[in-house]
Amino acid sequence: MKHGIHPDYHPVVFQDSATGRSFLTRSTATSDRTTRWSDGNTYPLIAVDVTADSHPFWTGDRRVVDTAGRVEKFHRRYGKR
């Protein structure tokens, strides 16, 4: 690899805003916020809205969102063929 052309790849803690669960991984993302991890080291902290811990697909929380009666509109248009 050429030196000086790649971004800094370092350990970062990502925290799920919905559940509060955190995980340590490596990333090029940076943050001014930091947190102390269980190994005693301090890492940048990046808060994210959705992770596999809170995403409906992975948690099994399936929801049907019917905005503006789309299901009824479909049934009126095509019936129960």
Distance of CA 36 to the CA centre of its chain: 21
Write down the pLDDT at residue 12: 96
Token pair 């099994």 is found at 60
Structure tokens, 14: 């990502």
3 found inside a domain? no
Q: Determine, yes or no, domain membership for 66.
A: yes
Whole-model pTM: value is: 0.65
Beta strands per DSSP E along the chain: 10-16, 22-27, 34-36, 42-48
Does 2 map to a domain?
no
15/49 Cα distance (integer angstroms):
9
Q: What's the total number of domains in the chain?
A: 1
Q: Is the pLDDT higher at 4 or at 13? A: 13
Above 90 in pLDDT, residue 63? no
- Nearest partner of 14 among 68, 6, 37, judged by Cα: 37
What distance in Å separates the CA atoms of residue 73 and residue 67, rounded to the nearest whole number? 11
Percent of the chain with pLDDT over 70: 80
Residue 5 included in any domain: no
Range of the domain at 65: 10-78
